[in-house]
Amino acid sequence: MPSVDIAFVRIATSNVAGHAAFAGDMIGLQVVPGSDDEAWFRSDIRRRTLVFTPRGPSSVGIALHAPEDVDAIAERLREAGHAFEWHDRDACEELFVRSGLRVTDPSGNVLDLVYGPHHSGIRFFPQRDNGIQGLEGVGLRSTSPERDLPFWRDLLGFELRDRVGEIAYIGTDALHHRIALYPSDRPGILYINFAVEDLELVMQNKYHLQSRQVRLPFGPGRQAASGQIFLMAEGPEGLLYSLVTETRKIDPTRHRPRQFAPEASSLCCWGSRPEGIAELTV
Amino acid sequence: MIELKDVCYARLGTRDLEGATTFATEFLGLEVAERRRDAVYFRSDDRSHTLCYFEGDPEDQSIAFEVEDEAALIAAADTLDRMNHRVERGTVEECERRKVKDFVAFLDPTGNRIELAVRPERSGKRYFATRDAGITGFSHVGLYTTDPVRDEAFWTQVCNAKVSDRIGDIPLMRVNEIHHTIALLASDKPGVQHINHQVTNNDDILRSYNFLADRDVEIVFGPGRHPTSGARFLYFKGPEGMVYEYSVGVDAIEDEETHQPRQFGFEPTSLCKWGSKPQSSFRR
């Protein structure tokens, strides 16, 4: 089972400026110059990890560590009759990757399976002391995680790690999960996980964002299944930035998926409750 | 010099013993060690009791420190006597009510009632909390002072306390390697400002924050982290205005020889490095 990273997140929006202001001024991601009508940001050593673009669709970039791993996925998709498209040279250049293909999950989430996302020679330097270390994962809306699971597992190579009710946590390596699927009435990116140094920084971010009137609909909290400490901040159009730390490492050869009760304490064992987010209200 | 070993117990008068007991157990999470007609004793660790609420005036508060032995107690009484601090020897009945072998009581320069106790009882039974707050024990107090400079001199010259750090005029003083056992906060009259219990880890702090806030207990400061002691903390309101604190990870002063107290300015970031600010109800 090849391990993956979440290489980038692309958000298609008519409000590039609003998103850019939030990602830069509030969250404090580093601006990457280079576009007139898109807003680009980075969160770690990679050249670019977050894009706001007027040109759709939104997509999540999943990086494989060898080109053969992408080929293997293409093979499985082909055999399953699941439509996909290789990115041509121009598309790869636009995505800042060496190669890749685009596929849509059964719910309609667009995924770019890529090899060789560009790294930068320049160290990451945030706009404020947010303690961000990098893009760690995403939470996706799914119109049926149960129906979607075979796609993620058999075609893309993810493993089911744990469930909370119908919410599914999936991963490929020792990190408990990189992607979580939430039952919803539509596809889409629910939240973007950015790893921060430790609880110190999660709490500093809480008070800083609060003082800047940012809505914090969930957290600080700790996910029962993964031990992940999180703080969610709401940006434009309901896009959630989740600042996380202490996501547990598991032994993929021995971990068996558990079923957590669909109760609030399964999503946060510290007792915090989500406010106004249907997908997080179990 | 009066050698204080550790903080020992707090005794608080209350007009509502039932209400105070409910708070101390269901909210704070302490264990009831003993119920008497007019007093309830609470445990937080392996000591027989570390908090006692008794029927009486809420302004009737005492904080006790343990001294080494009878000889140390007599020496302490002597020292205070020679300084014209009135010292009261505990009667047999009063000792029994405090579960100690012997004690003397006096007023600190502000007028806070301090007791020096010998041989405080320990329980044979393990501590078992009323709720899962993760409490490991009663750890320190904040006291009001009408003159921080004068009182710091009392605690550090007449007693063996040492200043670990200061925030404005607030000295944080230790009597052993723990960063502080006594904090002094300025006010116009005496009183106990807060009572601290240590908890096991950060999760306990965050859990209690949600637990207490959900039940409309007033959170007066935190969750936060003190830059002085490094401890992660939460302060909340208890009965009759008493502030209770949970904290974890109080620094130890490793090197007595070289530690120099730092001076922090009196501003919010000196009290919390995460950015939380105390409510006005945190202190008088």
Read off the pLDDT band of A2 (50, 70, 90): confident
**Domain locations along chain A:** 4-115, 132-205+224-280
User: Are residues A207 and B273, on separate chains, in Cβ contact within 8 Å?
Assistant: no
Read off the pLDDT band of A278 (50, 70, 90): very high
Residue A198 in contact with partner chain B when CB distance is under 8 A: no
- Same fold? B6-118, B135-282: yes
pLDDT tens-digit series, residues B61-79: 999 999 999 999 999 999 9
Fold of A132-205+224-280: 2,3-Dihydroxybiphenyl 1,2-Dioxygenase; domain 1 (3.10.180)
Q: How many residues are present in chain B? A: 284
Read off the pLDDT band of A1 (50, 70, 90): low
Percent share of chain B, pLDDT over 70? 100
Q: How many residues are present in chain A? A: 282
Chain A residue with minimum CA distance to B269: A204
Residue A208 in contact with partner chain B when CB distance is under 8 A: yes
Superfamily of domain B135-282: 2,3-Dihydroxybiphenyl 1,2-Dioxygenase, domain 1 (3.10.180.10)
When CB atoms are compared, the residue of A206, A211, A271 closest to B207 is: A271
When CB atoms are compared, the residue of B210, B224, B273 closest to A270 is: B210
**Domain locations along chain B:** 6-118, 135-282
pLDDT tens-digit series, residues A33-72: 999 999 999 999 999 999 999 998 999 999 999 999 999 9
Select the CATH number that applies to the domain covering B6-118 from these four: 3.40.50.720, 1.10.287.610, 3.60.15.10, 3.10.180.10. 3.10.180.10
Chain A residue with minimum CA distance to B211: A271
**Mutation for testing the A interface, residue in B210, B217, B232 having most A CBs under 10 Å:** B210
Read off the pLDDT band of A237 (50, 70, 90): very high
Residue A196 in contact with partner chain B when CB distance is under 8 A: no
User: Are residues A203 and B274, on separate chains, in Cβ contact within 8 Å?
Assistant: yes
User: Are residues B225 and A203, on separate chains, in Cβ contact within 8 Å?
Assistant: yes
Residue A272 in contact with partner chain B when CB distance is under 8 A: yes
Q: What is the pTM of this model?
A: 0.89
- The three-state (H, E, C) secondary structure of chain A, written as one string: CCCEEEEEEEEECCCHHHHHHHHHHHHCCEEECCCCCCEEEECCCECCCEEEECCCCCEEEEEECCHHHHHHHHHHHHHHCCCEEECCHHHHHHHCCCEEEEEECCCCCEEEEEECCCECCCCCCCCCCCCEEEEEEEEEEECCHHHHHHHHHHHCCCEEEEEECCEEEEECCCECCCEEEEECCCCEEEEEEEEECCHHHHHHHHHHHHHCCCCCCEEEEECCCCCCEEEEEECHHHCEEEEEECCCECCCCCCCCEEECCCHHHHCCCCCCCCCCHHHCC
How is residue B202 written in tokens?
A: 């950060």
Which chain A residues contact residue B203 at CB under 8 A?
222, 269-270
Which chain B residues contact residue A270 at CB under 8 A?
203, 206-207, 209-210
Find, among B238, B276, B249, the residue nearest to B26 by Cα: B238
When CB atoms are compared, the residue of B209, B211, B275 closest to A204 is: B275
Percent share of chain B, pLDDT over 90? 91
Q: What ipTM does the predicted assembly reach?
A: 0.81
pLDDT tens-digit series, residues B114-170: 999 999 999 989 999 999 999 999 999 999 999 999 999 999 999 999 999 999 989
Select the CATH number that applies to the domain covering A4-115 from these four: 3.30.70.580, 3.10.180.10, 3.30.70.100, 3.40.30.10. 3.10.180.10
Task: Give mean pLDDT, residues B27-38.
Answer: 97
**Residue B95 above 80 pLDDT?**
yes
